[in-house]
Amino acid sequence: MHYEGEILKKQKRGGTLKKYWFVLLGKELYCYKNQSDMKHKEMKSLAGVYLKDELEEFTDNGVVLHPFMLIFPNKRRIYYLKSREEKDQWISAIKNSTGYASLHDFYELGDNLGKGKYGLVKAATHKKTGKECAVKIIKKKELSLKDLELLKREIEVLKVCQHPNIIKFFDVFENQDSIYIVMEVLDGGDFFSFLHKRKFIITEDVARNIAHQIATAIFYLHELGIAHRDLKPENILMVDKTDSAEIKLVDFGLSRTFGPNETCREPYGTLCYVAPEILLQ
């Protein structure tokens, strides 16, 4: 990827704007004092950098500036363009060279569907296909390192699993503040609520069908060498609110992959559901 053009930067002293010539080569951004210079003033790698669109700014003499921000691992830099068109072209060039994608490039967010442990779940629509889905929005600042590890493990498991009784994973996006997990939308609530609304009385046919779906999903996971390790009614979601609703297993944060000869004796699970022999290790 090669793209170049004039960009304005604020000076550290005084905050005045100064023109520079920038050249994007692959994932490297070069800054020159002048277009004709042979030696660059500085070079920045854009690997792992986040891109953020900024609101328009006005100078003291009324000139409109169109900024965007690059968020590096240890610093942030704002760059200014004279027109919205130039800014859009630079943003597009940087996205193409780095592979960076924003959730809002592909999905339109809708109403809240619920609230989880780490953030909101919102309805969303794919802009091109019109397909409806759910987006789990997790705020990074609310995650500990352990929580982040469990979340990334869940994402990796969901990427692998393709089964009618395991929730479908569509996409994942990340920026400097949040992680967005795009999944299929399910309208029936969890299995505990399903039972509660029926006063915990269901027919033998319904019980058999649900048990069979759970068993086939677990069998599928075990064939892939994956143990869920946190099965409970709250981690089984219903596709809809009918008596014959199909189920989907969710929440693979505590799951783990195993090799053919590996065993696990770690006491994982939710305390009120875990088996006594797990607690006793």
Catalytic residue list = 230
Backbone angles phi, psi at 35, to 5 degrees: -60, -30
**Cα-based distances in Å from 71 to 46, 51, 78, 176:** 9, 6, 9, 7
Residue 244, burial from CB neighbour count under 10 angstroms (0-12, 13-18, 19+)? exposed
Q: In whole angstroms, what is the distance from residue 195 CA to residue 155 CA?
A: 29
Helices (H) and strands (E) in the chain, counts: 6, 17
- The secondary element (H helix, E strand) that includes residue 124 is strand 120-126
Closest CA to 168 of 259, 65, 237: 237
CB proximity list for 89: less than 8 A, separation 6 or greater:
3, 5
Other residues' Cβ atoms within 10 Å of the Cβ of residue 266: 10
CA count, 13 A, side-chain hemisphere, 264: 18
Give CA–CA dist 25/223, Å, rounded.
45
- Residue 225 region, left (φ>0) first, then alpha (ψ -120 to 50), else beta? left
Do the beta carbons of residue 147 and residue 166 sit within 8 Å? Answer: no
